[in-house]
Amino acid sequence: MYENPRLILDSSNPPEPGSFTWRSPSNIAIIKYWGKYGLQLPRNPSLSLTLAASCTDTQLEYEMREDDSGGPIDLEFYFHQEENEAFRAKIVAFLESLTPVFPFLKQLKLTVHTGNSFPHSAGIASSASAMSALALCLCSLEDALFGTLREPADFDRKASWLARLGSGSACRSIFPHAAVWGETAVVQGSSNEYAVPVGDLIHEKFRDFHDDILIVSSEEKAVSSRAGHALMEGNPFAEARYAQARQRLGVLFDAMRAGDLETFGRIAEDEALTLHALMMCSNPSYVLLQPNSLAIIEKVREYRAETGHPVYFTLDAGPNIHLLYPGEIIHEVRAFIGDELAEFCENGYVQQDWVGEGPEEM
């Protein structure tokens, strides 16, 4: 979609060396993306809230290469100030795959410094924040060298498209408050190729929402999301699941526009449990919920029944519980977490997060 052979630098007039830094957040899906085809295209549309505290900072430095005749990508890569060969190899492969889009990448010597705002061991997925931060740096680079992404909407769309190629869910992190990725009749302009912002369309209650992440286990996931998506191919419930997600997105979106917390919460919880049910009935099957995840789910439901407070849970493909609630009950919910839920978390660890304004250039 964005292949452009004209994005080539004139080696007789090389650009000055420079750098860009972006801070980009993670996001939490309410309607889950689970199942993909082709080049990172989703089997169903998804909707997420953009987070604020769980971020990746990425700096991309560039200078013209002495020999710019198109050898392999030249990248130095540092994660938390240390060279990391495994991550470097992944990023090099990603950048190589992007050379039809950014032919100039092979003319540059690149250095990436990246790091997360949350502890690496927290068990929080970082691919969304990491790939969106890198995509934003690449768009800044293109714009600095060629002036081709001056329009903010064009810039964001291309960044979202690139982020998607790195990791599907990352395409939703580009936008403030909330985003939808995947074609759906209920969001004009929605696409399988990139996410679109919906933060301005939802009720203000959801722009002041919290997501406290209860870290049940920080262990590396037993199944990578790539393998998880692939398992949907043989799953006997796959088609029914995709139809359900399409239908639910419409119901959820209406509820979010109206500020209907109850419908939001019912769908959020049902989506989380459906995701895990799909993993449990895949072949091979995965049970990623742990006893403490279930204990927290029980407690949340009891607390809601007793207090009437709109506190809901969701999960991604792991055992950690995301507690979703509006800002107006933060004191009550934080007390509930401290008194009744922290004991189920690894070392009592809770990563506090909330709906944020999206990425920031530093």
Stretch that binds ligand DP6, among 74-82, 222-230, 241-249, 257-265 (CB under 6 A): 222-230
Residues 86-145 contacting ligand DP6, CB under 6 A: 127
Instruction: Determine whether 287 is exposed, middle or buried from the number of CB atoms within 10 Å of its CB (0-12, 13-18, 19+).
Output: exposed
Closest separation between CB of residue 67 and ligand DP6, Å?
Answer: 34
The phi and psi torsions of 120 (rounded to 5 degrees) equal -55, -30
Closest separation between CB of residue 167 and ligand DP6, Å?
Answer: 3
Select from 353, 347, 343, 338 the least CA-distant residue to 295: 343
Rounded to whole angstroms, the Cα distance separating 210 from 323 reads 7
Q: Which is nearer to ligand DP6, 261 or 315 (CB)?
A: 315
Rounded to whole angstroms, the Cα distance separating 173 from 138 reads 15
Count of chain residues binding ligand DP6 (CB under 6 A): 16
Residues 301-340 contacting ligand DP6, CB under 6 A: 316-317
Q: Which is nearer to ligand DP6, 32 or 65 (CB)?
A: 32
Give me the helix-helix angle, 261-280 and 238-258, nearest 10°: 160
Closest separation between CB of residue 191 and ligand DP6, Å?
Answer: 16
DSSP 355: B
Closest separation between CB of residue 98 and ligand DP6, Å?
Answer: 16
Residues 153-172 contacting ligand DP6, CB under 6 A: 167-169
Q: Which is nearer to ligand DP6, 79 or 286 (CB)?
A: 286
Q: Which is nearer to ligand DP6, 145 or 238 (CB)?
A: 238
Select from 31, 51, 48 the least CA-distant residue to 351: 51
Rounded to whole angstroms, the Cα distance separating 302 from 314 reads 16
> Interface with ligand DP6 by CB under 6 A: which residues?
29, 32-34, 40, 46, 127, 167-169, 225-226, 229, 275, 316-317
